[in-house]
Amino acid sequence: MIEKRDFYINGQWVAPVEPHDFHVINPSTEEPCAVISLGGAADTDAAVAAAKSALPGWMATPAEERIALVEKLVEIYQTRSEDLAQAMSLEMGAPIDMSRTSQAGAGIWHLKNFIRAAKAFQFERPLGEHAPNDRIIYEAVGVAALITPWNWPMNQITLKVGAAAIAGCTMVLKPSEQSPLNAMIFAEMMDEAGFPAGVFNLVNGDGVGVGSQLSGHRDVDMVSFTGSTRAGTAISKNAADTLKKVHLELGGKGANVVFADADEKAVKRGVLHMMNNTGQSCNAPSRMLVQRPIYDQAIETAAQVANKVSVGPAQEEGRHIGPVVNEVQWTKIQDLIQKGIDEGARLVAGGTGRPEGLNKGYYVRPTVFADANNQMIIAREEIFGPVLTMIPFDTEEEAVEIANDTPYGLTNYVQTQDGDRANRMARALRSGMVEMNGQSRSAGSPFGGMKQSGNGREGGVWGLEDFLEVKAVGGWAAE
């Protein structure tokens, strides 16, 4: 049993003032794998005070020195990558091979992209040739509360910490209590890299406790949160009294629009993308909209692909999917699968219950529904499990209408060989991201959504700007 009972505050590992034990569950076995301490208001206040005290010095540190420390963090990350992968596999159920490549790999990818973007970023720049004595200064927002989820832990931690550190913000990280071990390893890495005391602080806690204390804290200038739309709404309301900046990366119900001229691998690619990370991705292509001439064949292909997706324990090597994170999520997914059956969608793969041969662990059968419509619960709610909903359409206009008929707007996908159609779809789809024909977004591309999928952008230049204030200065005195 792993024990992680201390917090990282003001450059030191300290015991919480009023600790509350929390058992982290291994979702592959349903057994406790670690004990951590959850903090309270005194711990939150101590972390925020440390960040506030460190802010003037960190803001005044030249950007080149802040970038150099993040470069040092990248070096250390490479030496701890296996530790991070093992932790995430244990605590949130990512199969170990996937944890090594995608889960741990995402963090170093984002840090390197921030370094590249920062080296080209002008933190001070002239307003324009028409105003030679005016300058624009980009300076840190201030103390940033970073609240991260369990589904892509290092992905989200590095997207926030990397940008905040380079921007000159000091920070308090509250990782998900469901997956805290990787975050505590990350705190060790920040310490080893030599970030000044108080620049980075970590307090474990739950959303109702430390999360609410941070989002409403008078000395926190910004909250950057990734998680559910429900929690994002609560954070926004709690933060409103202090008018702090709130950055939200929330849920999604992405449409994968497959036209009749799509390449032959489009349906298979879409199913496997949906099943990746056991469906626990906010940008998952969970609604597959298929043009009617190829709809029947697409159903057959999707069922075949889903039935070949293997499910197994996270510690085993191989290209399988693991369990979902906990019992609450497992039960929610089972209920939604049953709702799909009750609503009359045609179950062509998977279904309720655990996969054959797995009697313990939060395993879900890779599931595909066909003949759904966009008013069904399975087409409207974010299931956050390996469940795909297939909906037929006839025309491009109908496809756009169905795709946009959702409260979410994170990522949509388009499969077509018609360049003009692809360009029309890119403009018509109401989402922060659109991906075409299996090509993912490139390094430095911003991640974020519209509508109830949140606000703000993470990654690259846009991620840096989210942690920066814009200050206009007139009558500049040349130095």
pLDDT digits (tens, 9 = 90+) for 198-243: 999 999 999 999 999 999 999 999 999 999 999 999 999 999 999 9
Does residue 330 have a pLDDT over 80? yes
Please state the φ and ψ torsions of residue 216, each to the nearest 5 degrees: -105, 0
Known catalytic residue at 249: yes
State the chain's mean pLDDT as an integer. Answer: 97
Q: Beta-carbon neighbour count of residue 197 at 10 Å?
A: 15
Does residue 473 have a pLDDT over 80? yes
Cα–Cα distance, 348 to 369 (Å, whole number): 6
> What residues form DSSP beta bridges with 38?
20
Cα–Cα distance, 187 to 193 (Å, whole number): 10
| pTM, entire model | 0.97
pLDDT, residue 105, reads 98
Closest CA to 388 of 361, 408, 365, 407: 365
* Residue 375 identity: Q
Segment 357-384 mean pLDDT: 98
Does residue 326 have a pLDDT over 90? yes
Angle at 282 (CA atoms; ends 94, 121), nearest 5 degrees = 100
Known catalytic residue at 282: yes
Q: Beta-carbon neighbour count of residue 136 at 10 Å?
A: 15
Cα–Cα distance, 365 to 380 (Å, whole number): 20
Long-range contacts of 129-134 (CB under 8 A, 24+ apart): 131/474, 133/474, 133/475, 133/476, 134/472, 134/473, 134/474, 134/475, 134/476
pLDDT, residue 371, reads 98
Structure-token match 């370094």, residue found? 115
* Residue 405 identity: D
State the catalytic residue, choosing from 249, 382, 435, 458: 249
211 SS3 class: helix
Cα–Cα distance, 412 to 352 (Å, whole number): 27
pLDDT-derived band at 86 (thresholds 50, 70, 90) equals very high
pLDDT-derived band at 463 (thresholds 50, 70, 90) equals very high
Does residue 477 have a pLDDT over 70? no
Structure-token match 């403009």, residue found? 427
Segment 347-365 mean pLDDT: 97
421 SS3 class: helix
Segment 150-176 mean pLDDT: 98
pLDDT, residue 1, reads 85
Closest CA to 363 of 335, 338, 326: 326
State the catalytic residue, choosing from 91, 169, 177, 282: 282
Cα–Cα distance, 81 to 78 (Å, whole number): 5
pLDDT tens for 241-262 read 999 999 999 999 999 999 999 9
The one-character DSSP state at 89 is H
Cα–Cα distance, 447 to 252 (Å, whole number): 12
Which burial class, exposed, middle or buried, applies to 445 when counting CB atoms under 10 A from its CB (0-12, 13-18, 19+)?
middle
> What residues form DSSP beta bridges with 36?
4, 22
Alpha helices in 143-289 (DSSP H): 153-167, 181-193, 212-215, 229-240, 266-275
Cα–Cα distance, 135 to 124 (Å, whole number): 7
Does residue 479 have a pLDDT over 70? no
Structure-token match 């490139």, residue found? 442
Does residue 57 have a pLDDT over 90? yes
pLDDT-derived band at 478 (thresholds 50, 70, 90) equals low
Segment 427-431 mean pLDDT: 98
Which residues have CB under 8 Å from 263's CB, separation 6+? 415, 417, 437, 438
Question: Concatenated DSSP letters for 317-335?
Answer: -SS-B---S-HHHHHHHHH
The percentage of the chain sitting over the pLDDT mark of 70, rounded to a whole number, equals 99
The percentage of the chain sitting over the pLDDT mark of 90, rounded to a whole number, equals 98
Please state the φ and ψ torsions of residue 193, each to the nearest 5 degrees: -70, -20
pLDDT-derived band at 476 (thresholds 50, 70, 90) equals confident
